[in-house]
Amino acid sequence: MHKALIAQGILSLSSPPDRAETMAGDLVEEARTRGGLWLAGALVGVSAAMFFHAFGAARARTLARLGLGLAVWFAVYVATRVVGALLGLQPLVIDARSVAELPLGTLLYLGGLLMLSNFVTGLVLGRGSAVGGMNPVMPLAMFWASTAVIALCADVSSGTSTWFCTLLYVGGLPTLYIAPLLLGGMLAARTTPSFGLGASR
């Protein structure tokens, strides 16, 4: 039951609620013989396929939603950073090369700010109308995911990658950016009648 609920929640980010429900049921039914790992892979594959399907059907609206998402995220992040600097919690400008040398407390605080700004962005965007059947946070989530993959590849191929950067791309972007954004989007969608997680027949 929990697997189905989680699967439906994930799929409802990239497809309309009624479709998400039936697809989640199909995947959970097949996962009984194929296992949990197959289910996880299938969820990622179906979500990506449905995202690109919706993107193909509404390119301009998806890109507009991505632009709006970036603007909201940037505004929230800058506001929290300025407030933090005014309160003396962190320096306003941080040299990217010296991030790894910051005290652990400041690093955790900055990570928290990133999570908060993405969560708030998810809450704001998630209340909007669906784009081609997908949750409005999906364009920004896919943008962050693409950024992580491209940045990791560029970093590794340059031959100057550091443990800090690799950790940031592999673990940081999914944890600090994508997960809170999707969580905010899902919570906002639950409170918006037209885009809830429940079955709609």
Select the residue interacting with other proteins from 49, 71, 153, 170 (CB under 8 A).
Answer: 49
Q: Are 115 and 180 in contact (CB under 8 A)?
A: yes
Q: Which residue has the tokens 């790992």?
A: 37
- Distance, first Cα to last Cα, the chain: 20
Contacts of 172 (CB under 8 A, 6+ apart): 111
Residue 161: CA count within 13 A, CB half-sphere:
16
Select the residue interacting with other proteins from 10, 13, 46, 124 (CB under 8 A).
Answer: 46
Select the residue interacting with other proteins from 30, 67, 149, 153 (CB under 8 A).
Answer: 30
Is residue 189 part of the contact set for other proteins (CB under 8 A)? no
Shortest gap between Cβ of 179 and other proteins (angstroms)?
21
Spell out a b/e string for 101-115, using b for 16 or more CB atoms within 10 Å of the CB, else e: ebeeeeeeebeebbb
Is residue 72 part of the contact set for other proteins (CB under 8 A)? no
Specify the residue, 21 or 125, whose C-beta has the smaller distance to other proteins: 21
Is residue 53 part of the contact set for other proteins (CB under 8 A)? yes
- Which residues contribute to the site for other proteins (CB under 8 A)? 1, 3-5, 7-8, 15, 18-19, 21-30, 32, 42, 45-50, 52-53, 199, 201
